[in-house]
Structure 1
Amino acid sequence: MLRINRLKIQIKTSNGTYGYDGTFTNGLNIIASEDNTSGKSSVIAAIYYCLGFEEIIGGKGEKVLTAVYKTAIEEGEDVWPVLESGAYLEIYNGKETVTIYRSATMEGRDNRLITVFHSRMNNIKNTDVLIEDMYVHMPNSAVYVKGFHTFLERFLHIELPLVPAADDGTRKLYLQLVFSAMFIEQKNGWSNIMSGMPFLGIRESKKRVLEFLLRLDTLENEKKKDSLRTRDSSIKFQWDFLIKELNTFVYREGCVPHGLPLSPQILSEEDLSNLIIKKQDAEIDEYIEELQEQYNKLSLLNPKVVDNFDHIQEELNATENSIEEFEREIYRNRGLLHSESSSIDKLSNNLEIIETDIRNNKDAARLRTLGSELDLATSKDTCPVCSQPIHDTLIPHSSHMQVMSIDENIRHLNAQKDMLEFAQEGHRRNKDKIRERIVQLENSLLTLRSVAKSLRNDLYSINENISESIIRKKLQLDAEMNSLYQLIEYFNTKKQKLRELSNDWKEYLKDKADLPKKKFSDLDEEKIKILRNHFIKNLTQFGYKSIPNLNQIDISMDSYLPVIEGFDMKFDSSASDNIRAIWSFVLSLLETSNEKSGNHPGTLIFDEPAQHSIVSSDVDKFFNHIIKLKNCQVIIGMTIRDSDTRQTINKLPSDSFNLIKVPYKAFKKFSTAIE
C-alpha cells in the first residue's frame, strides 16, 4: 500500500525561499489550475522525482524537472536565480510514515542521493528521528540495502519477482516499471496503455507488470520455468565440462574411458559401475597388474650386462620394430588428420554456397509474395499474355522433367544444409579423436626411443656394468603405475561428482514434470475474466463509441492487454476514445487487484486526463467512478480554464474529494522553511 500524505517543494533564491506545500487524502485528489503553465505538472513531477520514478516522465535526474527547479523563479516582473532546490514527500504504507527528501539543485549534493526521515514531515527536525541516506539510479539501487528502491520495496511490503531480461538473464521487476501502469504523465502517458514505461532491459515488461499487479499464478510458473532453464543450463554446462576434463586427463595417460554419457542423464549404480578406463584393450586394474608382473620379473634378473646380453639384443630388436610400427601409425594418422581437415574445409565452403542459395531463394519468395499482393500475373507463375505457366528456371521445360518451385528449393536446400552440418560435426569429432590418438602414439614412441637408447648403451658397455635398460624400465614401470593409480583416484572422484550431477538432473526432471500442464490456473482465468468485465463496463460508462459492439473486445492471454480479433484495440479507437480506454484499463487493474487480492499499491496519478477535448459529461462519470472506489488514492492534475470543466468539478459532492487549487504560479514565497 502506498499513500502520499504531503508534498513540500523548496526553491531557495537570493530573495528567499519559494515553493509549494500541499496535503493529499485517501480517495480523489484534484490538483486544479486555471492555466496549463501554472506549475501543476511541476508539482506532480516532484512526486515522481522524490520516489525515483522520473524515468516514467522520460529521463533521470533533475533534467526531467522544469526550469523553476534549476534556473530561475519569476515573481511578477522580477526573476530570481535558483540557488538550491529540492522536495520533501511524506508517504504512508498503512502502518508507518516516512518523509523522503531529494535535492534537484544543490552544491555538493548529488541528486542521486535520497534522505529518508522515519517520521512525519512535521517531526523531521526532532533529534530522536532516525535518518538514513540512500541512493537511486545507480547499479544495484534496487538490490543493495542502501539502495532507495530496495528500501521502498520493503516499505511498501511487496516482493518484486525476478523476471526474464533482454540479455537472457534474470532481473528484478523494477518499481519504475510497476508504477508506470499507475502513474500517467501528461506528455507521453496518453498515447497508449502504459506508454510511459521506461526500457530497463526487461523482456515483455508490460506483460510482467500486469502479471505482478494481478498476482497471476502464471508469474510464479514463469519464475519456476526460468529457474528450471537456469538449472538445465548449469547442469549441462557442468556435465559437459566434467566429461571433457575427464577425457583430457584419461587420454593424456594413454587410456580410453568407456561408458561416459556425453549429456546429462539419470545414472544408476550399475551405470556408474560400468564407467571404466581401459589401456591397450585391458581394464586399468588388469593393466596395472601386468605392469607389476613385468616389474617383478625385472627384479629377478641379474642387473649385470654380461648376464643378460642375449636378452638385451632380442629386446632391442623388438623395441626397434615397435618404434617403426609406431612411426608408421603416426604417419598414417597424420594423413587421416589432414584428410579430415580437408573434408571440414570443403563442407564449410559448400555450406556457404547453400546458405547464399537459401538467402537468394527466400528473397525471391518474398518478392513473389509482394507481387501476389499487387495481383500481378507473373507473381502467380503465370504469363500475363498467353496465361501459360511460368517455371522458376530458364532451363527448357520438358514433359519428363519436374522442376522444383522456389518453396521446394528452400526446403531442399535447408535439408542439404542440415545434412552438411551433421557431416561436418562428424568430421570434427573424428579429427579430435585422431589428434588425441597422435598424442598417445607420440608419447609411447618417446618412451620406446628412450628404452632403445638404454638398450644400446647396455650392448656397448663393459660387461661388468649394471644394466641401464633394466633400471630405466623399472623406473618407467614404477612411474607409469603411480600415474595410473593417480588416474584411478582422480577418476573415482569425478565419478562421485557425476553421481551428484545425475541426482541434480533427476531432481530437475522431477520439478519440470511437476510444472502445471496448463499455462493459466483457474484463478488466473477468473482474474483475467474479471479484468475484462471491469474494462468493458468502464468503457461503456465513460462513453467509448469507436467500437459498436464492445463484446468484441477481449483481454489477450499473451499480453493481458485489450485486443479486438487479436489486434491492439487502439487501432480502432479515435483519439478521445483511446484516452477513455486508458482510463478504463488503469482503473480496471485497480478494481481487479482489490477484488482478487492482487499486488496493486492502490495509488493512481492522472495528469491532464481530459485529453483531446473529451466531453465534460464523460469526465464527470470518470470522477464519480473514482469517488465510488474503495481502498485507493487517486491524484488528478486538471486545467480548468473552460467553464465546462469547472462546472464538472463544482458538481461533485464537496466532501467526496480533496480539491487542491494551484494559483497562477504554483510556487509562492515561504515565510519559514519546513514546518
Structure 2
Amino acid sequence: MLRINRVKIQINTSNGSYGYDDTLTDGLNIIASEDNTSGKSSVIAAIYYSLGFEEIIGGKGEKVLTAVYKTAIEDGEDVWPVLESGVYLEIHNGKETITIYRSATMEGRDNRLVTVYHSEMSNIKKSGVVVEDMYVHMPNSAVNVKGFHTFLERFLYIELPLVPAADDGTRKLYLQLIFAAMFIEQKNGWSNIMSGMPFLGIRESKKRVLEFILRLDTLENEKKKDSLRTRDSSIKFQWDTIIKELNILVYREACNPKGLPMFPQILSEEDLSNMFIKKDGVEIEEYIEMLQEQYNNLTVLKPKIVDNFEEIQVELNATESSIQEFERELYRNRSLQHSEKSIIDKLTSNLEIIETDIKNNKDAARLRTLGSELDLMTSKDTCPVCSQPIQDTLIPDSGYMQVMSIDENIRHLNAQNEMLEFAQNSHKRNMEKIQERIKQLENSILSLRSMAKSLRNDLYSINENISESIIHKKLQLDAEMNSLQRLSDFFNAQKQKLKDLSNDWKDYLKDKADLPKKKFSDSDEEKIKILRNHFIGSLTQFGYKSIPNLNQIDISMDSYLPVIEGFDMKFDSSASDNIRAIWSFVLSLLETSNEKSGNHPGTLIFDEPAQHSIVSSDVEKFFNHIIKLKNCQVIIGMTIRDSDTRQAINKLPSNSFNLIKVPYKAFKKFSADSE
C-alpha cells in the first residue's frame, strides 16, 4: 500500500525560500490550475522524482524537472537565480510513515542521494528521528541494502519477482515498471496504455507487470518454466562438454569409447557398466595388464646384447615392418584428407551459389508481390502491351517441359541448401576423424622409429654392452601404462559426473512433468474475465463510441491488453476514445486487483486526463467513478480552462474529494515559519 500524504518543494534563492507545500488525502485529489504553465505538472513531477520514478517522465536525474528547480524562479517582475532546490515527500504504507528528501540542485550533494526520515514531515528536525542515506539510479540500487528502491520495496510490502530479461538472464521486476501502469504522465502517458513504461532490459515488461499486479498464477509458472529452461541448457551443456572431452582424450590414446550417450538421459547401473574404453579390441584395464606383463617379461630378460642378439634382430624386422604399414596408412589418410577438403570446398562453393540464388528469387518474389499490390499486368504473368500470357523464364516453351514458378524455385533451392549443409557437416566430421587418425599415426611412427633406432644401436654395439632397446622399451611401456591409467581414472571420474547429471536430468524431467498442463489456472481466467468486465463497463460509462459493439473487445490472453479481433484496440479508436480506453484500463486494473487480492499499491496519478477535448460530461463521469472506488488514492492534475470543466468539478459532492487550487504560479515565497 502506498499513500502520499504531503508534497513539499523547497527552492532557495538569495531572496529567501520559495516552493510548494500541500497535503493529500485518500480518495480523489484534484490539483487544479487555470493555466497549463502555472507549475501544476512540476508539482506532480516532484512526486515521480522523489520516488526515483522519473524514468516514467522520460529520463534520469534533475534533467526531467522544469527550469524552476534548476535555473531561476519568477516572483512578479523579479527573477531570482536558484541556489539550491529539493523535494520532500511524506508517504504512508498503512502502518508506518516516512519522509523522503531528494535534492535537485545542491552543491556537494549528488541528486542520486536519497535521505529517508522515519517520521512525518513536520517532525524531521526533531531529535531521535532515525535518518538513513540511500542511493538511486546506480548499479544494484534495486537489490543492495542501501539501494533506495530496495528499501522502498520492503516499505511498501512488495515482493518483486525475478522475470526473464532481454539478455536471457533474469532480473527483478523494477518498481519503475510497475508504477508506469499507475502513474500516467502528461506528455507520453496518453499515447497508449502504459506507453510511459521505460525500457529497463525486461523481456515483455508490460506483460510481466500486469501478471504481477493481478497476481496471476501464470507468473509463477513462467518463472518455473524459465528456471527449467536454464536447467535444461545447463545440464545439456555440461553433458556435451564431458562427452566431447572424453572423446578427444580417448581418441588421442588410439582408443575407442563405448556406450557413451551423446545426449542427457536417465542412466541405470547397467548403462554405467556398459561405458568403457577399448584399445586394440580389449578393454583398457585388460590392455594395461597386458602391457604390465610385457614389462615384467622385459625385466627378467638378460640386459646384455650378447644374450639377446637374435631376439633384437627379429624385433627390429617387426618394428620396421610396422613402420612401413603405418606409413602406408598415413599416406592413405592424407589422400583421404585432401579428398575430403576438396569435397568440403566444393560444397561450400555450391552453398554460396545456392544462397545467392535464394536471395535473388526472394527478391523477385518480393517485387512480384509489390507489383501485384500496384495492380501491374506483369505481376499477373500478362504482357502489359498485347495482353498475351508470359512466363517468368527465358527458356523457350517446348510444350512438354514444366517450368517452376518463383515460389517453387525458392522451395527447391531451400531443400537443396539443407541437403548440401547436411553433406558438408558430414564431411567435416569425417575430416575431423581423419585428422585425429593422422595425429595418432604420426605419433606411432615417431615412437616406432625411436624404437628401431635403439634396436639398431644394440645390433652394432659391443656384445657386452647393456641393451638400449630393452631399456627404451621398458620406458615406453611404463609411459604408455601411466598414460592409459590416467585416462582410465579420468574416464571413471567423468562417469560419476555423468551419473550425477543423470540424476539432475531425472529431477528436471519430473519437475517439467509437474508443470500445470493449462497455461492459466481457473483463478487466472476469472481475474482476466473480471478485468474485461470492468474495462467494458468503464468504456460504456465514459462514452466510448469508436466501435458500435463493445462486446467485440477482449483482453488478450497473450499480452493481457485490450484487443479487437486480435489487434490493439488503439487502431480502432479515435484520439479521444483512446484517452477513455486508458482511463478505463488503469481504473479496471485497480478494481480487479482490489477484488481479487492482487498486488496493486492502490495509488493512481493522472496528469491532464481531459486530453483531446473530451466533453465535460464524460470527465464528470470519470470523477464520479473514482469517488466510488474504495481503498485507493487518485491524484489528478487538471487545467480548468473553461466553465464546463469547472462546472464538472463543482457538481461533485464537496466532501468526496480534495481540491487543491494552484494559483497563477504554484511556487510561492515561504514565510519564515513554513521554512
Same fold at TM > 0.5: yes
Q: Per-residue displacement from partner, 1:40-61 (whole Å, max 9, x unpaired)?
A: 0000000000111111111111
Which amino acid counterpart does residue 579 of structure 1 have in structure 2?
A: I
Report the TM-score, using the length of structure 2 for normalisation.
0.97
Gaps of 5+ in 2: none
Provide the rounded CA distance (Å) in 1 between the counterparts of 2:399 and 2:522. 60
Q: Residues 577, 565 of structure 1: CA spacing in aligned structure 2 closer, same or farther, 3 A cutoff?
A: same
2:373 — aligned with what? Answer: 373
The residue correspondences of 1:623-662 to structure 2 (distance < 5 A) are: 623-662=623-662
1:334 lines up with 2:334 in the alignment: yes
Provide the rounded CA distance (Å) in 1 between the counterparts of 2:352 and 2:599. 53
Gaps of 5+ in 1: none
The alignment partner of 1:524 has SS state of helix
2:118 — aligned with what? Answer: 118
The residue correspondences of 1:350-429 to structure 2 (distance < 5 A) are: 350-384=350-384, 388-429=388-429
The residue correspondences of 1:268-283 to structure 2 (distance < 5 A) are: 268-283=268-283
Q: Which moved more, 1:500-509 or 1:250-259?
A: 250-259
1:202 lines up with 2:206 in the alignment: no
Which amino acid counterpart does residue 196 of structure 2 have in structure 1?
A: G
Which amino acid counterpart does residue 473 of structure 1 have in structure 2?
A: K
Provide the rounded CA distance (Å) in 2 between the counterparts of 1:93 and 1:304. 97
2:151 — aligned with what? Answer: 151
CA contact (8 A) 1:17 1:673 kept: no
The alignment partner of 2:17 has SS state of strand
Provide the rounded CA distance (Å) in 2 between the counterparts of 1:215 and 1:44. 28
Provide the rounded CA distance (Å) in 2 between the counterparts of 1:55 and 1:365. 44
1:28 — aligned with what? Answer: 28
2:181 — aligned with what? Answer: 181
The alignment partner of 2:83 has SS state of strand
Q: CA deviation at 1:516?
A: 1.9
Which amino acid counterpart does residue 592 of structure 2 have in structure 1?
A: T
Provide the rounded CA distance (Å) in 1 between the counterparts of 2:60 and 2:508. 42
Which amino acid counterpart does residue 655 of structure 1 have in structure 2?
A: N
Q: Per-residue displacement from partner, 1:372-416 (whole Å, max 9, x unpaired)?
A: 223333212344566554322111122321111111111111111
2:259 — aligned with what? Answer: 259
Q: CA deviation at 1:94?
A: 1.4
Provide the rounded CA distance (Å) in 2 between the counterparts of 1:388 and 1:507. 68
Provide the rounded CA distance (Å) in 1 between the counterparts of 2:506 and 2:377. 59
CA contact (8 A) 1:122 1:674 kept: no
Q: Per-residue displacement from partner, 1:21-46 (whole Å, max 9, x unpaired)?
A: 11111110111112111110000000
Q: Per-residue displacement from partner, 1:63-102 (whole Å, max 9, x unpaired)?
A: 0000000000110011110011110111111122221111
Provide the rounded CA distance (Å) in 1 between the counterparts of 2:471 and 2:327. 26
Provide the rounded CA distance (Å) in 1 between the counterparts of 2:128 and 2:438. 79
The alignment partner of 1:12 has SS state of strand
Q: Per-residue displacement from partner, 1:347-395 (whole Å, max 9, x unpaired)?
A: 1221111111111111111222222223333212344566554322111
2:219 — aligned with what? Answer: 219
Which amino acid counterpart does residue 657 of structure 1 have in structure 2?
A: F
Provide the rounded CA distance (Å) in 1 between the counterparts of 2:145 and 2:336. 61
The residue correspondences of 1:400-549 to structure 2 (distance < 5 A) are: 400-549=400-549
Provide the rounded CA distance (Å) in 2 between the counterparts of 1:603 and 1:342. 71
CA contact (8 A) 1:142 1:149 kept: yes
1:56 — aligned with what? Answer: 56
Which amino acid counterpart does residue 552 of structure 2 have in structure 1?
A: Q
1:66 — aligned with what? Answer: 66
Which amino acid counterpart does residue 410 of structure 1 have in structure 2?
A: I
Q: CA deviation at 1:671?
A: 2.3
Provide the rounded CA distance (Å) in 2 between the counterparts of 1:361 and 1:243. 42
2:84 — aligned with what? Answer: 84
The alignment partner of 1:358 has SS state of helix
Provide the rounded CA distance (Å) in 2 between the counterparts of 1:83 and 1:673. 20
Q: Which moved more, 1:524-533 or 1:475-484?
A: 475-484
Q: Residues 102, 394 of structure 1: CA spacing in aligned structure 2 closer, same or farther, 3 A cutoff?
A: same
Q: Per-residue displacement from partner, 1:432-460 (whole Å, max 9, x unpaired)?
A: 11121122112222211121111111111
2:294 — aligned with what? Answer: 294
Q: Residues 319, 389 of structure 1: CA spacing in aligned structure 2 closer, same or farther, 3 A cutoff?
A: same
Q: CA deviation at 1:216?
A: 1.4
Which amino acid counterpart does residue 514 of structure 1 have in structure 2?
A: D
The alignment partner of 1:5 has SS state of strand
What's the Cα RMSD here? 1.5
Which amino acid counterpart does residue 634 of structure 2 have in structure 1?
A: V
Q: Residues 57, 331 of structure 1: CA spacing in aligned structure 2 closer, same or farther, 3 A cutoff?
A: same
Provide the rounded CA distance (Å) in 1 between the counterparts of 2:303 and 2:53. 88
Which amino acid counterpart does residue 31 of structure 1 have in structure 2?
A: I
Q: Which moved more, 1:369-378 or 1:202-211?
A: 369-378
Q: CA deviation at 1:571?
A: 1.6
The alignment partner of 2:658 has SS state of strand
Percent of pairs with identical residues? 86
Report the TM-score, using the length of structure 1 for normalisation.
0.97
